[in-house]
Structure 1
Amino acid sequence: MSFLQVQKKIKSGNFSPIYLLYGTEVFLIEEIIHSIINKVLTEDEYDFNLSTYELKETPISLAIEEALTIPFMGSYRVVIVKDPQFLTGKDQTKVEHDLKAFESYILNPVPETIFVVVAPYEKLDERKKIVKLLKKEAEVVAALPFNEQEMDKWLENRVKKYEVAISASAKELLTQLLGNRLVMIAGEIEKLSLFVGRGGTIDETTVQQMVSKTVEQDVFSLVDHVVHRRKQEALQVFYELIKQKEEPIKILSLLARQFRILYQVKELSKRGYSQQNIAGTLKIHPYVVKLANQQGKLFSEKQLLKFIDELAETDYKIKTGKIEKQLALELFIIQAVSVV
């Protein structure tokens, strides 16, 4: 089940006795845990009815004993177990876990206990009996990077918490600037919401004014100017990076990475890969794929490969002292925007 679907169920008070939260988006996992805790426990109940166990240090049998205990002065007990490496093919812990007891609990969980298994791994070992059982009996949430539609919905839900609205262009720019860094996006949304005030709207201008840019984002803008043949704007971004004392070799490396992404997206699209499949293959955000797809259309594969080769040659010349590094990048930018 998706993150958004599970959040909706929790909000309506529809709980499962066991949750399996796995995936690399730790922020989403923490969001679900907080939603469960805030919905079923008061702050006064935390000391009595909330327990967390690190399974790399503690046997799961202790967590099961806790789960079997009736809640104290409350309706629910929440038991959270973290880092269950026995669900993967690489269990490096030295703690012995009674998986038979865990299997028994999964088949007969206590209704008054919400048992949350937190597995922050990209994959689980599907061959293992315990994994198969959990996936069959538990509410399973794959905390994976959002696709474009999921990100859009998540942003809408996020701003509603602050009673503000957000424009479509602001959502796109925010995603372009921060990618899939959900922790950073959540922090920026809070800041932007406070800035526009209750009932206000976060628009593209607000995002441009308030959201701090990283070197990677500036390089993305530089590439965007290059592919649209905007020489003056491209050089302006480059000079600003130099003014900020960014190392030209780092800029060159990021430029090469961006052009490789353009080429890879173009090549995979030609092979019939979907936007989501490309994102998964290249391990980049789906929105980055969308933008790269748009930018890549302005060059042929041959031209993109030529840029990648020229950047590699420029890197070699700089490191062997054959050309001054700032001049080398200036020449590359000027030549790149001149390509027909």
Structure 2
Amino acid sequence: MSYLQVKKEIERGDVRRLYFMYGTQSFLMEDLVQSIIKHTVGSQDDANIITYSLQDTPLEIAVEEVETIPFFGGEKIVIIKDFSLVTSQKQEGKVEHDVSRLEQYIERPSPDAVLILLSPYEKLDERKKITKALKQKATAVECAPFDEQMTGQWLDEQATSKGFSFSKDGKERLLERVGPQLLLLASEMDKLALYVGENGEVDAAVIDLLVARSLEQDVFALIDFAIKQRIDEALVIYHDLLKQKEEPLKLLALIARQLRIYYQVKELSRRSYSQKQMATQLKIHPYVVKLASQQVNRFDDQQLLGLLESAADTDYAIKTGKMDKVLAVELLLMKLANLRNG
């Protein structure tokens, strides 16, 4: 099941007995755990919430805990972190685990407890018996990066829960400013809710007023202004970043990374890859692919390869002391602006 489906179930009060959460988005796992706590025991400080890590605790001890009747009555929540037994990676430390105890528990979970297994790993070993059993018998939740549609839906639901709404341009501007990182987006929501008030609407003007761009988004805007031959605006962003103590070499690396993404997206587009397939192939967020796709037609292949070579030459010139680092990056931006864009 998806994060959004499970979240809705929990919010309705439909809390299952066994959850298996896996994927790279630990923020989503933590959000679901907090929702489960809220709709069962009610408080994070409740004595019936017990957390273990498989790095230092045998699995069978955690299973015994979840099978034990709560001392203070009510429901018990047992959380097992670092549940790596569903992966092919070697176990850290010398703790041995009796997986059969969990396999037995899965068949007959306790009606008085909620067991939550957290596996913050990119890949599962689908050949393992325990992996198959959990995917079949538990509420398995893939906590993977959202695509653009899911991110938009998540933002709308977060806004509704906080009593405000987004205009279309407001939501798009927020994503432009912050990017697709859910943890950063979540940190902006309370601020937006407080500013617009109950039943208020967040539009692009509100985002411009309250939300600062991330470094990656600043670099994207910097390149965007340069290739549109608005070099003055590009240089304003560049020098603002320098005032914020950002290193020219770091900015150069981010510029080169963005240009590399443009080249890769252009090549994959030529091979008729969808944006989702590109994101998977390049291991970047689909929203990053979407933004890159809007820019790549401004370049031909030779221009992009030439710019990547210029970025490498700039890096070499700075590191060998042949050029001042601030000036060297400025010259690269000017080279971007001087391209004959289509």
TM-score (structure 2 length as normaliser): 0.93
Residue 70 of structure 1: aligned partner: 69
Structure 1: 5+ residue stretches without partners = none
Instruction: Please list, as runs of the form range in 1=range in 2, the aligned pairs for 1:136-155 lying within 5 A after superposition.
Output: 136-155=136-155
Aligned residue number for residue 325 of structure 2: 325
Q: Contact (CA 8 Å) 1:176, 1:287: kept in 2 or not?
A: no
Amino acid corresponding to residue 77 of structure 1 in structure 2:
K
Matches within 5 A, 1:153-302: 153-302=153-302
Residue matched to 2:79:
80
Preserved CA contact (<8 Å) 2:266 2:293? yes
Rounded to whole Å, the distance in 1 between the matches of 2:318 and 2:45 is 63
**Which residue of 1 is the match for residue 59 of structure 2?**
60
3-state SS, counterpart of residue 43 of structure 1: coil
What is the letter of the counterpart of residue 314 of structure 1? T
Partner of 1:24: 24
Q: Distance in 2 between matches of 1:82 and 1:102?
A: 14
Q: Tell me the equivalent position of 2:34.
A: 34
Conserved 8 A contact 1:124-1:131: yes
Tell whether 2:155 aligns with 1:121. Answer: no
Note closer, same or farther for the CA distance 1:227–1:70 as it changes in structure 2 (3 Å cut): same
CA RMSD of aligned residues (A): 1.8
**Count of matched residue pairs:** 339
Which secondary structure does the structure 2 equivalent of 1:328 belong to?
Answer: helix
CA distance in 2, matches of 1:31, 1:176: 24
Contact 2:159 2:165 in 1 (8 A): yes
Q: Which string of whole-angstrom CA distances, capped at 9 and with x for unpartnered residues, describes residues 260-311 of structure 1?
A: 1111111122222222222222222211110110011211122111111111
Residue 28 of structure 1 and its aligned partner are, at CA, apart by 0.2
Q: What amino acid maps onto 1:307 in structure 2?
A: L
Alignment map for 1:293-312 (pairs within 5 Å): 293-312=293-312
Q: State how far apart, in whole Å, the 1-side matches of 2:180 and 2:123 are.
A: 19
How far did 1:215 drift?
Answer: 3.0
Distance 1:110 1:305, change over 3 A: same
Which of 166-175 and 4-13 deviates more?
166-175
Farther off after superposition, 206-215 or 121-130: 206-215
Distance 1:25 1:45 in 2: 24
In structure 2, the CA distance between the partners of 1:132 and 1:157, relative to structure 1 (3 Å rule), is: same
Matches within 5 A, 1:80-119: 80-90=79-89, 91-119=91-119
Any conservation in 2 of the 1:166–1:201 contact (CA below 8 Å)? yes
- Structure 1 residues 287 and 250 mapped into 2: Cα distance closer, same or farther (>3 Å)? same
In 2, Cα distance between the equivalents of 1:325 and 1:60?
53
- With normalisation by structure 1, the TM-score equals 0.94
Asked if the contact 1:179–1:285 (Cα under 8 Å) also holds between the matched residues in 2, the reply is no
Q: Name the CA distance, whole Å, in 2 between partners of 1:17 and 1:229.
A: 58
The Cα of 1:45 is off from its aligned counterpart by: 8.4
| Distance across 1 between alignment mates of 2:246 and 2:118 | 39
Give, in whole Å, the separation in 1 of the partners of 2:134 and 2:93: 20
> Is residue 17–residue 111 contact of structure 1 (8 Å, CA) maintained in 2?
yes
Larger mean CA deviation between 292-301 and 214-223 belongs to: 214-223
* C-alpha distance in structure 2 between counterparts of 1:287 and 1:152, whole Å: 11
Supply the distance in 2 between the matched residues of 1:44 and 1:151 (Cα, whole angstroms): 27
**2:114 aligns to what SS in structure 1?**
strand
Deviation string, structure 1 residues 89-142 (Cα, Å, up to 9, x no partner)? 112232121111111111111222211111111111111111111111111111
Structure 2 alignment gaps of length 5 or more? none
Name the SS for the 2:294 alignment partner.
helix
Aligned residue type for 1:296: V
Following superposition, which runs of at least 4 residues in structure 1 exceed 6 angstroms of deviation? none
Shift of 1:36: 0.9
- Would the alpha carbon gap of residues 251 and 8 (structure 1) be closer, same or farther in structure 2, given more than 3 Å must change? same
Moved more, 322-331 or 144-153: 322-331
Q: Distance in 2 between matches of 1:58 and 1:229?
A: 59
CA contact (8 A) 2:235 2:330 kept: yes
C-alpha distance in 1, partners of 2:310/2:111?
64
The whole-number CA distance in structure 2 between the counterparts of 1:42 and 1:240 is: 46
Deviation at 1:44, TM superposition (A): 9.5
Deviation at 1:178, TM superposition (A): 2.3
Give the Cα–Cα distance (whole angstroms) in 2 for the partners of residues 228 and 93 of structure 1: 54
- State the identity %: 45
Which secondary structure does the structure 2 equivalent of 1:79 belong to?
strand
